[in-house]
């Protein structure tokens, strides 16, 4: 991590308006078209979005390894977007866009059935029951993601919190998703292609097991 509470972050990220989009609503329903033009890729480019992307290790690595997919990273904080931007620039990625945006308003950014995949990596577990509606895997959120996903689209979810994971399994099942893959120990050796996030690296280094599931819209 190179930037912490950088007061200049906003000014810097504003200079890269071909990567950091401050008015993403204007692309609603046209992300495939925009990604195709920007990345010079095939017309029906899949759209994958990471919610609460953090400093961008995951999305920039995914972008590097999957040039035919359009990735959209969403996070609230400018200095975090700046860290992700540095990775996108270093890797010269044309298929990764960054949105300084609140996930609560996701429906203003994506059209119904526009998204192929959402990633939720190590979101805040909000352990108190009275805060459960804030969890990004609460059914109120899952119903929104489900609307925005195409048929057969999926959510990939990773967390260190077993409590959040168990809660989420139930929420996915109650919200019209089929869980097609699930592990309580992502480091078990059965997932050699796993791309880690910044938080994930810290948890692994502390010997904490990672839970992961993949849920498909049915
Ligand atoms: C615990 S961090 C995890 C970051 C990253 N996914 C990782 O695994 O390293 C959660 C991230 O979600 C972002 N976030 C939380 N609530 C958000 C919201 N409503 N809209 C957009 N981003 C949000 C935070 O700014 C933070 O960067």
Flag whether pLDDT at 34 surpasses 70: yes
Phi, psi of 185 (to 5 degrees): -150, 85
d(C-alpha 7, C-alpha 12), whole Å: 10
Do 73 and 96 touch, CB atoms closer than 8 A? yes
Query: Which of the listed residues 9, 54, 155, 197 should we mutate to test ligand 1's pocket, taking the one with most ligand atoms within 8 A of CB?
Result: 54
Q: Average the pLDDT over 11-30 and give the result.
A: 97
pLDDT digits (tens, 9 = 90+) for 157-213: 999 999 999 999 999 999 999 999 999 999 997 898 999 999 999 999 999 999 999
Q: Average the pLDDT over 119-135 and give the result.
A: 97
Q: Which residues contact 192 (CB under 8 A, 6 or more apart)?
A: none
Beta-strand relationship, 211-217 and 96-100: unpaired
What pLDDT shows up at residue 73?
A: 98
Q: Which domains does the chain have, with CATH numbers?
A: 43-217 (3.40.50.150)
pLDDT-above-90 percentage for the chain: 90
Residue 5 binned pLDDT confidence (cut-offs 50, 70, 90): low
What pLDDT shows up at residue 1?
A: 38
What pLDDT shows up at residue 3?
A: 40
Do 91 and 60 touch, CB atoms closer than 8 A? yes
Please tell me the distance between residue 45's alpha carbon and the centre of ligand 1 in angstroms: 25
Q: Answer positive or negative: Cα dihedral of 51, 69, 115, 38.
A: positive
Q: Which residues approach ligand 1 with their CB closer than 6 A?
A: 52-54, 74-77, 80, 102-104, 121-124, 197-200
DSSP string, 79-124: HHHHHHHHHHHHTT-SSEEEEE--GGGGGGTS-TT-EEEEEEES--
Flag whether pLDDT at 2 surpasses 90: no
């Amino acid at each position: 991590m190179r930037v912490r509470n950088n007061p200049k972050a906003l000014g810097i990220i504003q200079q890269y308006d071909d990567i950091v989009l401050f008015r993403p609503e204007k692309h609603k329903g046209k992300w495939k078209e925009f990604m195709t033009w920007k990345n010079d890729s095939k017309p029906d480019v899949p759209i994958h979005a990471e919610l609460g992307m953090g400093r961008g290790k995951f999305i920039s690595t995914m972008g590097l390894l999957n040039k035919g997919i359009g990735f959209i990273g969403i996070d609230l904080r400018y200095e975090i977007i700046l860290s992700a931007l540095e990775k996108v620039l270093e890797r010269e990625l044309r298929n990764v866009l960054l949105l300084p945006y609140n996930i609560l308003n996701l429906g203003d950014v994506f059209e119904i059935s526009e998204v192929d995949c959402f990633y939720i990596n190590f979101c805040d577990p909000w352990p108190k029951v009275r805060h459960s509606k804030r969890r990004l895997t609460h059914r109120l959120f899952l119903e929104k993601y489900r609307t925005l996903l195409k048929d057969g689209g999926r959510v990939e979810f990773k967390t260190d919190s077993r409590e959040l994971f168990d809660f989420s399994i139930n929420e996915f099942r109650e919200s019209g998703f089929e869980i097609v893959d699930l592990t309580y120990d992502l480091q078990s050796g059965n997932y050699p292609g796993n791309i880690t996030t910044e938080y994930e690296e810290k948890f692994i280094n502390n010997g904490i097991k990672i839970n992961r599931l993949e849920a498909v819209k049915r």
